[in-house]
Structure 1
Amino acid sequence: MSILSALTLSRRPATGFVIVGIFWGGFAAHVPVLKAQLGASDALFGLLLLGTAAGLVSSMWLAPRLDRTLGARGMQVAALALALAWLFPGHMSVQVLFFVSLIFVGGASGLLDVTMNARVSDLEAQTGRSLMNANHAIFSVAYAVAALISGVTREAGIPPGWVFTGFSVVTILLLPVLRMAPAAVEPEVGYAGAYPLWPILLSGLVVLVAFMSEATVEAWSALHVERTLGGGAVQGALGPTMLGITMAVGRFSGQVVAERLREVPVIVGASLLSACGVILAAVAPVPALAYIGFGIFGLGVSVVAPMGLALVGKLVAPHLRTEAISRAAVMGFSGFFFAPVFMGLVSELFGLRAAFGGVALLALCAVPLALALGRYPLRTAQIRP
Structure 2
Amino acid sequence: MPLAPGALEPVLRLAIVEGIGPARLSTLMARFGSAERVLAAGAEELGAIPGFGPEFVRRLRAAATDEGLQRARAALQVLRKAGAVSITPADAAYPDAFRTLPDPPYLLFAAGNLELLDTPGVGVVGTRSPTDYGLRAATSLSGGLARAGLTIVSGMAKGIDAAAHAAALDAGGTTVGVLGHGIDRVYPPGNAKLFARVRERGLLITELAPGEEPNAGNFPRRNRLIAALSLGVLVVEMGEKSGAQHTVTYALEQGKEVFAVPGPISSTRSTGTNQLLKDGARLVTSVEDILEELRGVGQGFAAAPAAPEPAASPDVPPPPPPDLSPDEAKVYAALTPDPRHVDDLAGESGLAPSNVLASLLGLELRDLAESLPGKQYRRR
Q: What's the TM-score bracket when you normalise by the shorter of the two chains?
A: under 0.3
RCO (CA 8 Å, sep 6+): is it higher in 1 or 2?
A: 1
Q: Which has the higher strand share?
A: 2
Larger Rg: 2
TM-score (norm 2): 0.22
TM-score normalised by structure 1 residue count: 0.22
